[in-house]
Amino acid sequence: MTTTDKDLFFDIHPDTYSQWAAQNGLPKYCLEQVSDWITKHHCLSFDDMTNISKKNRSILADRLRLNPFTSVTNQKASDGLATKYIFTLDSGVCIEAVALQERGYETLCVSSQAGCPVDCKFCLTGISGLKRNLTVSEIVGQLAIVLANNHHITHIVFMGMGEPLLNLKAVLPAMDWFQEPWGFHISRRHITVSTSGYEPGIDYLIKNNRYLNLAFSVGSAIPSIRETIMPIEKRYPITQLSLKLRQYSSQHNRKLTLEYTLLATVNDTDLCADQLIQLARFLNAKVNLINLNPHPMIPFEPVSHKHLMRFRQRLVMGGVQTTIRHPKGQDIVAACGQLQLTAVADTPISRQPK
Ligand code: SF4
């Protein structure tokens, strides 16, 4: 069997282990053992799964693929706190994830799409356009490989490449792998999904009563400014969207997070702060401020430290719980909004309208 003919392990849901095992002449518990080795012992090599008989390991290796990528490389930031992983897909396109070391815990920022069609003007991924949605295996594989490289991931954020709500078909089963006891068993409160405000996705979550720890990327709470930096505003206006977000957070009685990327002279005025306060109060949300990570291809500048503190102070005085996300991994272009779609081979990267 060639590598691409093999089934990808994370595409097989545990509910179907019996069926898959029977079709391949194996007992069901073999798949449970494989799952245990990967999710609890962070092992991705059949050879090392020593409680499985040699014969069964050989059948498994012949039929199953644990690593969905054709190659994986990584790069560590000079401060040692961020490691960027670059995964090559079968098509030759590369996607990225970043492991971020914090005090006492480690977060993995995962990608949900190869590129992104949403085109936020302050984000390098947006410049790349969309290549395709990632599969369940390609999303879960990012975590499995990083864990196998001796990271101790306790938190996950869907803030890498892509708009996760545009790929719920793969993101929701991947979330199950991340949080269920039969999977990696990471607390669902430690898994954050960041959205630019794709309203049909929020509608889906409401209708199906599906809880995700959502972070909403605001851009600006003023629609005329928002549409200049986040074209999605034209299609799903923030005035309408905020009603849906309020419905969603009250359905689950959980606080939303508003992500706010500060861009000098664009969304950093007192009026912008006051509108953000209004939005945060309406949604009973907290705010996470991110000063822009500058890049030659991004036509904006960050605000000064003094201005960042002043903006934060205004939000706090307005009664809004506010934190600042400090940049990590800038020297390896791994900071927030800096993940960029690349191709190993000569693969054209299309820019598609949303
Ligand atoms: S910020 Fe997120 S949604 Fe916007 S272009 Fe970048 S990856 Fe896509």
**Phi, psi angle pair for 310, to nearest 5°:** -65, -45
233 Cβ below 6 A of ligand 1: no
Predicted confidence (pLDDT) per residue in 209-250, tens digit: 999 999 999 999 999 999 999 999 999 999 999 999 999 999
Indicate which residues carry an active-site annotation.
96, 336
In whole angstroms, what is the distance from residue 306 CA to residue 313 CA?
11
Report the separation in Å between the CA atom of 196 and the middle of ligand 1, taken as the mean of its atom positions: 7
Q: What local confidence, expressed as pLDDT, does residue 350 receive? A: 31
Question: Per-residue pLDDT averaged across 14-38, rounded?
Answer: 96
Report the separation in Å between the CA atom of 276 and the middle of ligand 1, taken as the mean of its atom positions: 20
Tell me what percent of the chain is helix, strand and coil, each rounded to the nearest 5. Answer: 40, 20, 40
Residue 346: pLDDT over 80: no
Q: What local confidence, expressed as pLDDT, does residue 3 receive? A: 72
Ligand 1 pocket test, pick from 163, 214, 333 with the greatest ligand atom count within 8 Å of Cβ, gives: 163
Q: What local confidence, expressed as pLDDT, does residue 128 receive? A: 77
Q: What local confidence, expressed as pLDDT, does residue 188 receive? A: 93
340 Cβ below 6 A of ligand 1: no
Ligand 1 pocket test, pick from 110, 118, 193 with the greatest ligand atom count within 8 Å of Cβ, gives: 118
Higher pLDDT, 332 or 252: 252
Average pLDDT, the chain: 91
Report the separation in Å between the CA atom of 120 and the middle of ligand 1, taken as the mean of its atom positions: 5
In whole angstroms, what is the distance from residue 14 CA to residue 10 CA?
9
Report the separation in Å between the CA atom of 335 and the middle of ligand 1, taken as the mean of its atom positions: 13
The torsion angle over the Cα atoms of residues 74, 76, 81 and 86, rounded to 10 degrees, is -30
120 Cβ below 6 A of ligand 1: yes
Residues in a beta bridge with 291: 262
Question: 68 and 135 in contact (C-beta within 8 Å)?
Answer: yes
In whole angstroms, what is the distance from residue 34 CA to residue 29 CA?
9
Nearest CA to ligand 1 atom 7: 162
Q: What local confidence, expressed as pLDDT, does residue 126 receive? A: 80
329 Cβ below 6 A of ligand 1: no
pTM: 0.92
What Rg value do the Cα atoms of the chain yield, rounded? 21
List all residues 6 or more positions away from 309 whose beta carbon is below 8 Å from its beta carbon.
Answer: none
Residues in a beta bridge with 240: none
341 Cβ below 6 A of ligand 1: no
Atom of ligand 1 nearest to the CA of 217: 1
Ligand 1 pocket test, pick from 95, 111, 113, 120 with the greatest ligand atom count within 8 Å of Cβ, gives: 120
CA distances from 194 to 98, 124, 136, 213 (A): 15, 16, 18, 9
Predicted confidence (pLDDT) per residue in 82-140, tens digit: 999 999 999 899 999 999 998 889 999 999 999 999 999 999 888 778 999 999 999 99
Predicted confidence (pLDDT) per residue in 39-67, tens digit: 999 999 999 999 999 999 999 999 999 99
All structural domains of the chain, each given as residue ranges with its CATH number in brackets, are 3-65 (1.10.150.530), 71-343 (3.20.20.70)
**Could you tell me the two tokens for 65?**
């693929």
Nearest CA to ligand 1 atom 4: 120
117 Cβ below 6 A of ligand 1: no
Q: What local confidence, expressed as pLDDT, does residue 330 receive? A: 62
Question: 190 and 157 in contact (C-beta within 8 Å)?
Answer: no
Q: What local confidence, expressed as pLDDT, does residue 159 receive? A: 93
Report the separation in Å between the CA atom of 132 and the middle of ligand 1, taken as the mean of its atom positions: 14
Report the separation in Å between the CA atom of 296 and the middle of ligand 1, taken as the mean of its atom positions: 17
Residue 270: pLDDT over 90: yes
Report the separation in Å between the CA atom of 339 and the middle of ligand 1, taken as the mean of its atom positions: 10
Ligand 1 pocket test, pick from 196, 336, 339 with the greatest ligand atom count within 8 Å of Cβ, gives: 196
Cα–Cα–Cα angle for 191, 146, 76, nearest 5°?
Answer: 105
115 Cβ below 6 A of ligand 1: no
At residue 325 the predicted structure's pLDDT band, cuts being 50, 70 and 90, is confident
Question: Per-residue pLDDT averaged across 265-270, rounded?
Answer: 98
Q: What local confidence, expressed as pLDDT, does residue 329 receive? A: 61
**Could you tell me the two tokens for 354?**
């949303």
259 Cβ below 6 A of ligand 1: no
Among 38-42, 200-204, 327-331, name the one with the lowest average pLDDT. 327-331
